[in-house]
Chains A and B, each alone.
Chain A
Amino acid sequence: DVKVTQSSRYLVKRTGEKVFLECVQDMDHENMFWYRQDPGLGLRLIYFSYDVKMKEKGDIPEGYSVSREKKERFSLILESASTNQTSMYLCASSLGLAGGPSYEQYFGPGTRLTVT
């Protein structure tokens, strides 16, 4: 079974703090994704990565950055947390293009971040 784990289930941070959210997958997937989930808005893609050190902006990258130094690990960074970044953050992974058309994503349990 694919396993995607996230470093924290719940996190409380103060405005202005630098926040790191970590995601690890154990299936050697090329692609990794960060989403935020808010009521009524569904899942919105923040950033994704298709290889080590490679990243692409999603639909809402402002205020976030990412890092992928190892294939299995994808970090989301909030450089200076703000209250409007209070949300559920979900990480996912999927196979890369070499295996043919593959869109299926496997999700971690999520991190509920509260910024006060």
Chain B
Amino acid sequence: AQSVTQPDIHITVSEGASLELRCNYSYGATPYLFWYVQSPGQGLQLLLKYFSGDTLVQGIKGFEAEFKRSQSSFNLRKPSVHWSDAAEYFCAVGAWGGATNKLIFGTGTLLAVQP
């Protein structure tokens, strides 16, 4: 069965430092992969997605992610973190829900940013 693992529950980085959030997936075919961000008290917003083609995808707010099939990973990166990036980040993989497409989410990584 498809699954998504986000091994880091909490991460704290200093403002201006680089960031990498890890995501590993389990899926038989070429996956459709997503990163969402959830600011406190808000719904989820799409940061970026990978369907095919270039394995390095750019998203909003200066984020990027790299699809590595050999490692079954889709890690999210940002070269310089801003205080406003403090939020919870969810990785997801597309799956067949029996009647339509659905997403399977990881358990999330909570990012804290230190001044």
Q: CB within 8 Å of B: which residues of A?
A: 4, 30-31, 33, 40-43, 45, 48, 50, 54, 56, 58, 90, 92, 94, 96-97, 101-110
Contacts and interface: CB of A to CB of B under 8 A. Distances in A.
A90 B44 contact: yes
Contacts of B36: 107
A96 B100 contact: yes
Contacts, number: 64
Interface residues of B, number: 26
A105 B32 contact: no
A50 B43 contact: no
20 contacts: A31-B101, A33-B102, A40-B9, A40-B107, A41-B107, A42-B108, A43-B44, A43-B105, A45-B102, A48-B97, A48-B102, A50-B99, A56-B98, A90-B43, A94-B101, A97-B100, A101-B32, A103-B32, A103-B101, A106-B46
